[in-house]
A and B are shown apart, each in its own frame.
Chain A
Amino acid sequence: MNNTALKINDEKVNNLPPVDDIRYITPDTAKFEKTAGGFVSLSIKPDEYYKRVNLYRSFPHRETRKYISVRNSEGKEIGIIKCIDDFSKEEVAIIEEELNRRYFMPIITKINSIKTEFGFFYWDVETDAGPKMFTINGGHSSVISITETRLLIIDTDGNRYEIENYQKLDTKSLKLVEPLI
């Protein structure tokens, strides 16, 4: 009965043993702050304080704002944020900034051209981080369908790019990218 505080009401009751239950970090006890160096600190009532925490997405492809694992500088998990938007606006901004630091994945807004030669594809695109040119290797799963419409592109250096919904691209871009999916 006294476990209900940890079970969120819209979750199905599960039968897993409570030993490894998830510790959720919630706004009523936790506060995220920005450190002088530009990183994120966390304090949890009554007496926990972490000078620097690292944030990891549990489902980076499927859920970018939910189930964020909060870990201390040794890598041990402190808890999980169920949904970023549960926190205050300032904290959401801080969390987003830190997540964007860890997950650098510019979103491709427009494809100017894709040239191909000998199995390599040379892309020239516009992203939300600025214009970029990169190369992908046609053979090894460089264009991945995360969902039916969302694409993850990994170039030969390991950089990642995202196309949120390829069907919503302008016609020219759509035509260029479709054969590669």
Chain B
Amino acid sequence: MAHLKEVDMKLYFDLPEKEQDLVAGRLADEKILYCTPYDIDSDGKYTDGWMIITKSRVILIEDCEIKEEFVIKNGEDYNALSFVGSGLLEVVVNGEVRPLVNYSMSHVPRYVYMARILNDLRKNTIPKVKSTDTETKCPKCGRAYLRGTKVCTKCTNNVQVMKRLLQVAKPHWPLYATVILIFWIITAIQMIPPILNEHLVDDYLMPGVKNMKAILLLVVGLALCALMNTLLTIIRGIVTTKLGGLLSLDLKSMVFAKIQSLSLSYLDQWKPGDLMNRINADTNRIQSFIQDNGAKGVNQIIILVAVGIYLFFENWKLALFVFIPVPFVIFFVTKMRKMIGMRFRSQWKASDKVNSFLQDILSGIRVVKAFGQEKRGVENFRKLNREFADITIRNEKYWNTLFPIMNFILASGNFLVLYFGGKFILGNEMTIGELVKFTMYADYVYAPLSWLGFMPRWFNDAMIGAERIFQIIDEEPEIRDADRPVKHKIDGAIQFKNVSFGYKSYEPVLKNISIDVKKGEMIGLVGHSGAGKSTIINLLMRLYDVDEGEILIDGIDIRNISQADLRAQMGVVLQETFLFSGSIYENIIYAKPDATYEEVIRAAKIANAHDFIMKFPDGYDTKVGEKGVKLSGGERQRIAIARAIINDPKILILDEATASVDTETEQQIQEALGRLIKNRTTFAIAHRLSTLKNADRLMVIDDGRLAELGTHEELFRKKGIYHNLVMAQRKMSRMQGPVT
């Protein structure tokens, strides 16, 4: 049953009308099998090109003209090459190579398939490729999809981000509601003093009316209001802080969890400094938005509307003066929004640069010192910080000029109110008390209004922070568990069936690898650097998924086994031993947190590590890793072996360290490895002759293909690639002489 491989790429485009007409005549009764666009002409200029493939011909159209028609069988071979920034589909005719189609990176993956298809058609085989309609761009508006999603940010509601932010706040709804309630109560209480004042001024603060009792009552009333205000503000502060803390916890956990779950291919593209910024700085921004400005915002808007209505009710003429400056400010602010966003972005970019630089230098401080480049590091840091400082200062100057001016404009309504209010009073249209009340209420409005002015900055802050975080949260891990992943107790038989893979799908690193490994067998992987050995291991660990073919463990496709389950049953010893900050004990039990002390010691003994560990004053509690004791390469290797062995894995993955250690340590490591490998199916990238000789079979990988397969003796006799590799290795060891 031939499975048509569905590729995540469009290979059949609908020709636009003009081109359709152009081609109609030429086609006769042949159907268009594939149709792809291309965008560079033979002069290196952008063009509007189409490549049409029928069963027997290739038709090229450029700028609405037929550029070339080509009979597929005339070509002896078709090849798609990728260069820097572009690609080329070339054809061999009569032994001569010539270019056929040029295209930008946007089409490179497509044409790799095109070349394959053409080669299939040339040989009269039916191409095994079917196109889908998925693309990385929104078909409606051409905007790029949010990475890893099929979400077009323009074609979906922009309110989405706000909605998502609210989702984050949702679980803490009760606390949130409490905060808002308190705001309301405070507001309500604040509405009272102006009325009291009105009475005070109009009815009692006049020579002649000697009612001290009333005055006292009113003053007490005012005092009580102020007191209540203070108390409630304290309570509000406490509740808000609690809310903030919980929000922060949620957001950060969410982002961190997502980062942990994402595939290596995505994470490889980020610098650790950037990721840290996302988790800390950006979540802080969102948190403060929801916590402070979010709650406050709701309130301010309510005050604004309520008081506004009241003011207009009382005296619409004066109210008008209060609100006149508003449209100006709004206009001003909307114009500034884009500028504000840009400024923030550049500030953050600069901040990211500083952090990443720090991260880089501090991780590599050893190299810095070894080459004596400390001074340069200091200078660079200074320079980056300077840039960051400059941008920040510029921005702050901007805010500090813009907002006071805006506030002044807003408040300028006040003067008009006083002037005309005075006129009304003199004309007996209004009492002094009423004016006092009015201006007090009007004051309440300025705070929200100017807050609305500041809003763009905070809003942008949060939105940009949200953007950056959702970028991560939206990312779907490439390696996903199947819909119903199986938990499988591994026995140890492994099969590679026609496996092909490339980190970039159009540049295959492994080509059609097949092998049947029995349980308990040890397979040595040999080949030149970059031949594909580490890739085989990465695929077995399912850090990446195969492009073609399948990998089976005990007959089950590894894609159907739950990742957690799979990796928990594999032991891994890599070249670079990374030890976490913690004790040796914590590092050994990393994959098996519930290991007993006896298991730990046993594992360490098998790894020949127990003795040197016991020599440390703190034994297994010795702190290692970034902040701890510096271990030698051999010691780290052996701890890694202990770590791998403690789980009793059925499958072992070994990437032999090439670094040489002293003979004694070498022996210890070899011995430990020997014990480790016993009765476990092992894939080992081997460098040492001794390891190779011990392997049950060897896979010789050359340029991505399985070139030779067999035992050491069989392959050596063949006098092929393996033989040469071994001879070169022997020569090397002889040259190096005995290692002290």
Report A's interface with B, CB cutoff 8 A.
35-39, 52, 60, 100-106, 116-120, 122, 127, 129-132, 135, 137-140, 155-160, 179-180
Contacts and interface: CB of A to CB of B under 8 A. Distances in A.
Given A60-B84, A104-B84, A117 B44 contact: no
Given A100-B44, A155-B105, A179-B343, 16 more contacts: A38-B99, A39-B98, A39-B99, A101-B99, A104-B44, A104-B83, A104-B85, A104-B102, A105-B84, A116-B341, A118-B467, A138-B345, A159-B106, A160-B85, A179-B346, A180-B346
Contacts of A101: 44, 83, 86, 88, 99, 102
Listed from nearest, the 7 A-B pairs whose CB atoms lie closest are A104-B86, A37-B98, A130-B46, A158-B105, A157-B106, A160-B85, A104-B85
Interface in B325-348: 341-343, 345-346
B375 interface: no
A51 to B, nearest CB: 9
A175 to B, nearest CB: 10
A127 B40 CA distance: 13
B99 A104 contact: no
B269 A160 contact: no
A66 to B, nearest CB: 17
Contacts of A135: 137, 143-144
Contacts of A179: 342-343, 345-346
A40 B270 CA distance: 39
Contact of B147 (A36, A102, A116, A137): A137
B205 to A, nearest CB: 57
Contacts of A159: 85-86, 104-106
B665 interface: no
A38 B105 contact: no
Interface string B15-48: 0000000000000000000000000100011110
A120 B44 contact: no
Contacts of B73: none
Interface of B: 40, 44-47, 83-86, 88, 96-99, 102, 104-106, 108, 136-137, 143-144, 146-147, 153-154, 161, 269-270, 274, 341-343, 345-346, 467-468, 471
A37 B468 contact: no
B108 A158 contact: yes
A161 to B, nearest CB: 8
Nearest to B391: A179
A106 B85 CA distance: 9
A39 B97 contact: yes
A35 B96 contact: yes
Contacts of A105: 84-85
A60 B274 CA distance: 27
Residue with the highest number of chain A CB atoms closer than 10 Å, among B88, B137, B343, B467: B467
9 contacts: A52-B97, A101-B44, A101-B86, A117-B143, A135-B144, A157-B136, A159-B105, A159-B106, A180-B346
Contact of A157 (B105, B147, B467): B105
Contacts of A127: 46
Contacts of A36: 96, 98
B153 A157 contact: no
For the complex, would chain B's binding face be called helix, strand, loop or mixed by DSSP majority?
mixed
B84 A160 contact: yes
A38 B468 contact: no
A14 to B, nearest CB: 18
Contacts of B85: 103-105, 158-160
Given A37-B99, A129-B46, A118 B84 contact: no
Given A102-B84, A104-B104, A131 B46 contact: yes
Contacts of A102: 83-84
Interface centre among B40, B47, B97 (most CB of A within 10 A): B97
Given A39-B97, A179-B346, A118 B153 contact: yes
A139 B45 contact: no
Contacts of B97: 35, 37, 39, 52
B269 A140 contact: yes
A155 B346 CA distance: 19
Contacts of A104: 40, 44, 83-86, 102, 104
Contacts of A106: 46
B670 to A, nearest CB: 33
A6 B307 CA distance: 88
B144 A120 contact: yes
B703 to A, nearest CB: 11
Nearest to A104: B86
Among A102, A105, A157, A180, the most chain B Cβ lie within 10 Å of the Cβ of A157
Contacts of B471: 119, 139
Contacts of B146: 118
A130 B467 CA distance: 33
Contacts of A39: 97-99
Contacts of A157: 104-106, 136
Contacts of A140: 269-270
Nearest to B40: A104
B104 A156 contact: no
A150 B342 CA distance: 21
Contacts of B136: 156-157
A36 B343 CA distance: 54
Contacts of A118: 146, 153, 161, 467
A103 B102 CA distance: 12
Given A104-B86, A160-B84, A129 B44 contact: yes
Contacts of A158: 85, 105-106, 108
Nearest to B46: A130
B42 to A, nearest CB: 8
B393 to A, nearest CB: 16
Contacts of B274: 139
B466 to A, nearest CB: 9
A92 to B, nearest CB: 16
B144 A156 contact: yes
Given A139-B471, A157-B104, A117 B83 contact: no
A92 B152 CA distance: 46
A35 B97 CA distance: 9
